[in-house]
C-alpha cells in the first residue's frame, strides 16, 4: 500500500504541473480580445519594440523563441485565435525575444546548453545501452561503472537545463510580458489576474519537463538493474 501511495504522489508531482498548465491555457482560450490573432499581435508588439528583425512564424504546436534564427514560432492552437490565452502566450514569447535583444545572460547560457544537451542525451542513451556489452568485452567492472556514470551524467544534463530554464521563463513572464500587458493596451485591467495564471502556466511547463527528465533517468536505472 505505501508503494502505491508513493507511485501516486510521484505521478501527481510529475504530471500535475503539466495538467494544470494545459487546463489554464484551455480555460482562457475562448473569449475574443484582440482585433487580430495572437500571432498578429506578436508582430505588432515587435514592431513597436523596435525589433522588426525578429520574424514570427505559425506552426502546428510548440510555442517558442529561437535565439539563433531570431524567429518567434507560435502554434495555431494557442496563438492562432484572439483569446486571452493567445494574447498572453504570444506576449510571453515576445518576452524571450526582448531577453535576446537585450543580451540577457541566462537565456544565452540556456541556449548554449540546449545545443550541447541534444548531442549529450543521444550519447548518454547509447552509453547506457552499451554498458553490459562493454563490461563483458573488457572484463573490467570499473569500465562498466565509468560508462554508467558517463551515461547517467549525459541523461542528467537535460534535467539541469530544465531547472536552469525556470528563471529564464519567470523573467520572460513576469518581468517582460506582464509589464506590457499591464499597460491596458492589449487586455482589460480586470483580466490581469487571469493573465498572471497563464504566465505561470507558461513557466510551469518547464517544471513538468524537468520532472519528466528525472523519470527518464529513473527508468534507465531500473532497466539496467534487471
Query: Which residue ranges of the chain lie beneath pLDDT 70?
Result: 1-3, 6-7, 9-11, 13-14, 115-159, 162, 206-226
Classify residue 60 by its DSSP letter.
Answer: S
Residue 180 vs residues 166, 174, 183: alpha-carbon distances, Å: 20, 10, 6
Place of cell 554508467: 148
How far is Cα 128 from Cα 220, in angstroms, rounded to an integer?
8
Domains in the chain: boundaries? 2-225
Q: For the segment 19-29, what is each residue's pLDDT rounded down to a tens digit?
A: 888 888 888 88
Nearest to 143 by CA among 152, 151, 134: 134
Amino acid at each position: 500500500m505505501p508503494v502505491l501511495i508513493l507511485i501516486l504522489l510521484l505521478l501527481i508531482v510529475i504530471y500535475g504541473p503539466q495538467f494544470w498548465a494545459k487546463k489554464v491555457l484551455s480555460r482562457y482560450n475562448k473569449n475574443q480580445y484582440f482585433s487580430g490573432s495572437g500571432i498578429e499581435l506578436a508582430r505588432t508588439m515587435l514592431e513597436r519594440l523596435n525589433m522588426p528583425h525578429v520574424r514570427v512564424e505559425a506552426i502546428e504546436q510548440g510555442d517558442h523563441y529561437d535565439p539563433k534564427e531570431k524567429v518567434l514560432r507560435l502554434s495555431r492552437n494557442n496563438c492562432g485565435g484572439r483569446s486571452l490565452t493567445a494574447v498572453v502566450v504570444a506576449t510571453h514569447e515576445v518576452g524571450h525575444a526582448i531577453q535576446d535583444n537585450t543580451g540577457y545572460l541566462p537565456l544565452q547560457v540556456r541556449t548554449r546548453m540546449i545545443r550541447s544537451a541534444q548531442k549529450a542525451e543521444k550519447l548518454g542513451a547509447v552509453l547506457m545501452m552499451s554498458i553490459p556489452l562493454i563490461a563483458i568485452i573488457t572484463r573490467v567492472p570499473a569500465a562498466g561503472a565509468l560508462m554508467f556514470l558517463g551515461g547517467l551524467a549525459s541523461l542528467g544534463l537535460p534535467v539541469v537545463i530544465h531547472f536552469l530554464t525556470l528563471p529564464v521563463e519567470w523573467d520572460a513572464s513576469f518581468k517582460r510580458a506582464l509589464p506590457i500587458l499591464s499597460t491596458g493596451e492589449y487586455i482589460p485591467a480586470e483580466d490581469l489576474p487571469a493573465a498572471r495564471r497563464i504566465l505561470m502556466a507558461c513557466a510551469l511547463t518547464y517544471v513538468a519537463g524537468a520532472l519528466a527528465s528525472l523519470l527518464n533517468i529513473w527508468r534507465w536505472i531500473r532497466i539496467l538493474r534487471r
